[in-house]
Every structure is written in C-alpha cells, then in structure tokens.
A = this chain, B = another copy of it.
Amino acid sequence: MSADRYAPTPADRFSFGIWTVAPMPAERAVHKLAEIGAYGVNFHDNDVFGFDDTDEEREERIAAFRKALDETGLVVTTATTNLFSHPIFRDGGFTANDRDVRRFALAKVMRNLDLAAELGARVYVCWGGRDGAESGAAKDVRAALDRCKEAFDILCGYVLDQRYGLRFAIEPKPNEPRGDILLPTVGHALAFINELEHPELVGLNPEVGHEEMSGLNYAHGITQALWHGKLFHIDLNGQHGPRYDQDLRFGAGNARGAFWVVDALEAGGYEGPVHFDYKPPRTEDDDGVWASAAACMRNYLILREKVRAFRSDPEVIEALGAARVPDLSLPTLADGETWRDIRGFTPDVAALAQRGMAFERLDQLALEHLYGIR
C-alpha cells in the first residue's frame, strides 16, 4: 500500500466541525485540521467565542479564528448556532415555549449568519437539538411546527434581504438530549420544508448516526434526499444502532453501511463538502484525536476506491443484470401507454413466481469488494 493512495487532497473537500475535535481554541483546531489534510471547517458561534463574551472578546476570538483560516487556507464551508448548551435553551430554541427564548434564538442565529456570510460559508446548519419534549403535554407539536416554520420563514427572509449566498440545512435527530425531538428523521424534515415560504433555500444535513439511532438505512435516506434535490450537506460518522449518539469516526460502526453511503454519494451527484461530525472517544489524548480525524478521511478514500472498483467490476455488472436492477429504471408504462394498457395485464404468474432475484450473489460480490479480496 502506498501512503499517498489514501492521502486527502483539497479536491476531496473534506471538512470537520470545530467542535468535533475536542475542546480547544478554534485556531488550534484549524491549524491541526489543515495539517492532516482537511479542506474546510464548520463552526458553531460558541466554538469560536463564548456565550458570555463581550463584543471585544468576541471580535478578538473571531480575529484569531480568521487568522488561522488565512494562514492555512482552510475554507469555512458551513456554520451553525449553538442553541442547546446554555440553560436558556433548556426547552429549545425556535420552538421553546417561552416566546422571549424564541426571539433570542432567532437573534443569535441572525448574528451568526452575518459572520457565516462574512467568512464565506455556503450552508447554514440548523440542528434543533433541544426542540422536543420528554413528556406528552409539555409540547404542543402542531404549534411547534408552526413556530419552526415561522423561524425558517424569518431566517430565509433575512438571508434574502441581506443577499447572503447561504442556504439552510436542517439536521434531523430522533432523540437525545430530548426524549423526542421535532423533525426526527430525514423524511420528517423533507416533508416540513415543503410548507415553507422559501423551500428552495432549505435542505437537509443528515447525520449517519442520527438515522441509525432510529434503525433506518442512512444510504437510503440520503438517496431520498437527493431524489428530492435536498441533500445540501452531510454529517458522516459511525454508530452501532439504536442507543446513545456515539459519533464514532466514519468507517467505524456499521462498516457495510459506510460502503453503501459512499456509493450513494458517488452515484447520487452530491456536490457539497464531505463533512465529518464525529467525536474522538474520551479514551484518546491529543494524538488520538488527530489520528481518529485523519482516519475519517482515509476511510472515505478507501471506501471510495472500493465502491468505484465494485461499480466497474464486469462480474458485478453481470450480476446486477441477473438481478434485474437496471430494469427498475425502465418506466413501468412504455412510452405512450396509459393505465388502459395494463388494467387487464396477466403475466405468466407461475414463471415469475419461480424466478429468483439472485440478490445474495450480488451482495456477496459487494462484501468481497469491502473485504478487498476482489
């Protein structure tokens, strides 16, 4: 194995959240991420400066961050707002029962949208981590959806009025830290967007672990998001099914799932940064933090190589045909046909019923590509 083969390049557009690589000054994170080959970063306002910082402290911290970006050439691809750490957000941000909290949350987002635009971000992630409830009566879900829509309508209006080149990406999550969170899956968020005043400005930022916490197939989820034209950003990491949010490095967790995730991104025309939202386990020291961050990118490149080999393997192509996978791209009605042409359709039922799908052979080929023995 050549070391270079899996070395990240700017063309790979790998990015990390500042918060993912442990508590440290943002500028240090930027320098270290640049060293290991990252292309960009995503930041919460309070990754860079403190919630209680004065304006001067805030400017000072931003200047240090910006300096690190300039020195390293790292791009700010994405930004977001911390609407969950401070106790004021104990009941959420956009959908807190307290109206003043909602107003403050929107003000906090607007202020960071200004910074995001200034730093060149193209996507603004919204994770409503505390927008939910532990118990039934505490949250009027219909009203919460109204307020959530109101928030996005206001923020879209703000971005348009300010002529910022920013689009929003909603990050769904089913639970943790709340018992149940609003817009719990890719599907719920996609549906919600359709009710907004500016649906074209809002898409998704699905996270591997968040969908797998619900036992859902992440590759299927992002494929549906792509089908709707709504995959604005991704959060790659690892998870072991329904349990606490593990945020393992990408590749760890559901290894076979990761193969299909890369396949879905490659096939689906995703054009955003390849973003990692993972957390180094608490067992790691500083070296371990950077080793795990580097491994996220490396695993993506390893899997990308495997996926490409899989898709171009003649035996796979033949097996896909045997499994009639390409036939699903044929419209069910032929050109010019209507329901009248098939209403009385009676195929050779016995013959079709006996016809195996040959999926096991096909899946074994994929697994052997993952194993690296083909």
Contact = CB atoms under 8 A, between A and B. Distances in A.
Given A90-B282, A291-B361, A339-B110, A243 B213 contact: yes
Range of interface residues on A (Cβ < 8 Å): 35 or more
Copies of this chain, count: 4
Contact of A254 (B150, B254, B328): B254
A119 to B, nearest CB: 19
Interface in A132-177: 133-147, 150-151, 154-155, 157-158, 161, 174-177
Interface in A76-102: 86-88, 90-91, 94-102
Nearest to A345: B107
Contacts of A338: 154, 157
Interface in A263-289: 263-264, 267-268, 280-288
A343 B110 contact: yes
B332 A151 contact: yes
Contact of A97 (B244, B280, B306, B357): B357
30 contacts: A90-B357, A94-B332, A97-B323, A97-B324, A98-B324, A110-B339, A135-B363, A138-B283, A138-B362, A140-B328, A141-B264, A142-B268, A146-B331, A176-B244, A179-B246, A188-B190, A188-B224, A192-B224, A215-B242, A241-B242, A251-B364, A254-B254, A280-B360, A285-B358, A287-B356, A288-B360, A288-B361, A291-B360, A292-B360, A372-B372
